[in-house]
């Protein structure tokens, strides 16, 4: 809706579509509440089984009837004012964006409700797991990433071949160069499908970032020429003049950073090993040396833990203490993960227990690249959202000029 409403504002299109997007959003929210409250779907997010589900079924039917009634009453005001003139235009990019986001929504909804539907049809519940979502969602995410870069570079109504050449040459070069660079760096997409998806994500991400930066630089150069300000000041003034547009670009940049962080998952490493005093575990550039392991007790729990010195390329960096706790009061176990996070990767270390035969702890270590960039991308999205919500400075300046002109006219009349 946040994308297609721009088509309604600019071109008077997709009014009925936008109304139903809002209706569907509210109904899906109620459906989500139904799933977590009624026990319809077994999940860690479900609260309990209860009879309240019937009330939500009735509420959903009531909402749909009200939405349909309002739509029928107002349909004369929802007629489109223009039609799609070209498949290569900003309108078409928004349309494809909407369609692919709806496919993503349906994918999650289908996977969530599949146990219920399978039980209704076959009499037994069948669940879908991570492989289903990875197989379906990864191509969807890559196409969304492609549209994130392409959409802002297209013109309204129709995009000429000259505009395409001018706007797409740098992002295309960045995409191809990144793909070649990754393959030179021993990424083998022809051997592993996960590396293929990661290669595409990194390459498309480079193209999208280049497209966003080129849009900023192009606008900043114009502002700098008009005002005589340097590039940084001109960029800030550019954002202030159109906060919605450039705040949206910042959000797009944050989405790319998140996808790059997720794409690093193709290069995850893990190892599991029994360690004694002085034993070593090697994973990636790290070496974990066991200094000691022991057990302890306090009023709340019994604990077993190991002290591991962490070396990177032979240089000491930190000490990690993975731990396993047992709470006697509740008769439950808890694993306390030790981790070291950097911009390059996260090192997770888990104490899995002791080998009953040797009495030595079993340590499992994970090395997950680029995890920090997921959280950085979230912060960038939040920043872009605040920028987009801020009022643009241009209307305020225009209003002040009108007031000043009226004041001068009144003064000269006196």
Residue 336 falls within a domain, yes or no?
A: yes
Final residue of a structural domain among 49, 83, 117: 83
Is pLDDT of 2 > 60? Answer: yes
Nearest CA-CA partner of 4 in 92, 108, 71, 70: 92
d(CA 89, CA 281): 55
N-terminal to C-terminal alpha carbon distance within the chain: 52
**Angle formed by the axes of helices 371-389 and 243-263, nearest 10°:** 170
- What does pLDDT average to over the chain? 85
Residue 188 falls within a domain, yes or no?
A: no
Q: Lowest mean pLDDT of 51-55, 131-135, 283-287, 316-320, name the range.
A: 51-55
Residue 281 falls within a domain, yes or no?
A: yes
Domain encompassing residue 45: 1-83
Instruction: Work out the pLDDT band at 123, boundaries 50, 70, 90.
Output: confident
Structure token pair of residue 267: 């290069």
Q: Give the chain's domain count.
A: 2
Is pLDDT of 196 > 90? Answer: no
The reported pTM is 0.80
Final residue of a structural domain among 67, 83, 99: 83
Residue 356 falls within a domain, yes or no?
A: yes
Does residue 279 sit in helix, strand or coil? coil
Residue 393 falls within a domain, yes or no?
A: no
Final residue of a structural domain among 50, 83, 116: 83
Q: What is the pLDDT of residues 291-323, one digit of tens each?
A: 988 888 888 888 888 999 999 988 999 999 999
Is pLDDT of 333 > 90? Answer: no
Instruction: Decide: 158 and 85 in contact? Cβ < 8 Å.
Output: yes
What percentage of residues in the chain have a pLDDT greater than 70?
93
């Amino acid at each position: 809706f946040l994308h297609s409403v721009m088509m309604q504002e600019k071109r008077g299109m997709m009014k009925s579509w936008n109304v139903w997007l809002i209706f569907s959003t509210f109904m899906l929210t109620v459906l989500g509440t139904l799933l977590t409250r009624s026990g319809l779907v077994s999940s860690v997010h479900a609260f309990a089984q209860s009879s309240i589900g019937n009330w939500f079924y009735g509420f959903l039917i009531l909402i749909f009837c009200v939405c349909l009634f309002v739509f029928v009453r107002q349909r004369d005001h929802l007629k489109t004012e223009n039609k799609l003139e070209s498949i290569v235009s900003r309108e078409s990019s928004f349309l494809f964006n909407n369609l692919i986001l709806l496919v993503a929504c349906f994918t999650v909804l289908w996977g969530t409700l599949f146990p219920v539907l399978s039980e209704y049809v076959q009499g037994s519940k069948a669940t879908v797991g991570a492989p289903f979502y990875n197989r379906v969602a990864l191509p969807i995410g890559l196409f969304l990433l492609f549209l994130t870069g392409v959409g802002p570079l297209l013109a309204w109504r129709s995009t000429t071949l000259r505009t395409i050449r001018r706007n797409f040459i740098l992002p295309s070069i960045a995409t191809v160069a990144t793909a070649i660079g990754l393959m030179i760096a021993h990424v083998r997409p022809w051997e592993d499908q996960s590396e293929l998806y990661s290669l595409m994500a990194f390459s498309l991400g480079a193209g999208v970032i280049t497209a966003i930066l080129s849009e900023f630089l192009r606008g900043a150069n114009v502002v700098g020429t008009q005002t005589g300000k340097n590039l940084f000041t001109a960029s800030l003034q550019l954002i202030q003049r159109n906060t919605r547009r450039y705040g949206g670009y910042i959000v797009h940049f944050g989405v790319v950073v998140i996808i790059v962080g997720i794409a690093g998952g193709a290069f995850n490493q893990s190892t599991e090993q029994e360690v004694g005093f002085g034993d070593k575990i090697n994973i990636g550039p790290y070496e974990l040396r066991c200094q000691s392991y022991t057990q302890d007790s306090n009023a709340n729990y019994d604990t077993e833990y190991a002290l591991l010195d962490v070396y990177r390329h032979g240089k000491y960096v930190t000490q990690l203490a993975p731990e396993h706790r047992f709470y006697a009061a509740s008769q439950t176990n808890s694993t306390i993960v030790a981790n070291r996070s950097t911009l390059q990767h996260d090192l997770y270390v888990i104490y899995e227990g002791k080998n009953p035969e040797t009495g030595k702890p079993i340590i499992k270590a994970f090395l997950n690249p680029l995890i920090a960039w997921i959280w950085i991308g979230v912060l960038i999205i939040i920043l872009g959202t605040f920028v987009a919500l801020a009022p643009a400075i241009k209307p305020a300046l225009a209003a002040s000029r009108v007031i000043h002109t009226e004041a001068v006219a009144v003064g000269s009349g006196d």
